Amino acid sequence: MTPIKLNADWLLPIIQSALAEDIGSGDKTTFALIPPHHQTTAYLVAKQDFVLAGLDVARRTFLEVNKNLVWHSDFLDGATISNGEVLASIEGEAGSILTAERVALNFLQLMSGIATQTREYVAKIAHTKVKLLDTRKTIPNLRLLSKYAASIGGAQNHRLRLDDAILIKDNHIALVGSMKEAIHRAKLHADGLPIIIECDTLEQVEQALQPNISRLLLDNMTPDQLRIAVKLVHGRIPLEASGGITLENIASIAETGVEYISVGKLTHSAKAVDISLDI
């Protein structure tokens, strides 16, 4: 897939929905304490080392609350940030800055957390030619942001939606009755889409070795099983290892000879990084 790029057409509704969720009928505390039009300058400050992702999402969040705020930053997504660095400054009406603060930080901290964790996984397999993939295991309504952040960390984007590819999994096969019949139906309706087949066993790998199959997804196989699958397939179809992948075992998985490794943890278990807004 082409890496996801931040696009105002789909990004703005996400930001507006998040702000509506957070603000409700108004920021009562700021309204009570801060005089209207009080001016200030606030700074986004890193409280740890991390890989930056989502900076423009944060910028757009502040400007959505007040288009007259002045934003300045010398950084771009993908930068390696050190503890104590100032990521950006926001100048203007203090009330608007405080109202936008939490939503902007939520986006920035989560996206940077995904990018940071992804970069760690990529580093573990840098000595191989294996490509790291994300998955659809994302927070609902935040998939585009999560996958963008994963790409900033160095992963390639897997399926964005169910209409991006035909991916035959164990439940599909159970309902259809056999691998052979599932593949037959998939080819009839593929209409140019890639066909990917999830294989739980080496027997299924043999069954899936058919023309016009784009990739085999080897689910929860041991390194020994993966090596056997690599020899069995002998380069005829790209192989993707998935399931149970951790920072501790990803290198040994990559060294089996598979072409891809997909990791759900990149997006569903990333820890938000620590960033503060200081006035």
12 shares its domain with 111 = yes
User: For the segment 216-249, what is each residue's pLDDT rounded down to a tens digit?
Assistant: 999 999 999 999 999 999 999 999 999 999 999 9
Which residues have CB under 8 Å from 19's CB, separation 6+? 61, 64, 65, 100, 103
In a domain, 143, yes or no: no
- Taking CA 159 as the corner, what is the angle to CA 155 and CA 163, rounded to the nearest 5 degrees? 165
Catalytic residues: 102, 137, 169, 198, 219
Stated length of the chain: 279
The reply to whether 110 and 188 lie within a common domain is no
CATH number at residue 101: 3.90.1170.20
15 and 102 assigned to the same domain: yes
Q: pTM of the predicted model, to two decimals?
A: 0.95
Shared domain for 109 and 174, answered yes or no, is no
- Please say whether the beta carbons of 168 and 195 come within 8 A: yes
For tokens 């929905």, name the residue.
Answer: 17
Domain boundaries, position 201: 156-262
**Counted domains in the chain:** 2
pLDDT surpassing 80 at residue 36: yes
Query: Is 231 part of a structural domain of the chain?
Result: yes
Looking at the fold, whether 12 and 94 belong to one and the same domain comes out as yes
Residue 104 belongs to a domain: yes
Residue 137 within a domain: no
Q: How many CB atoms lie within 10 A of CB 164?
A: 14
pLDDT per residue as tens digits for the range 128-152: 999 999 999 999 999 999 999 999 9
| CATH code for the domain of 246 | 3.20.20.70
Q: Is residue 133 part of a domain?
A: no
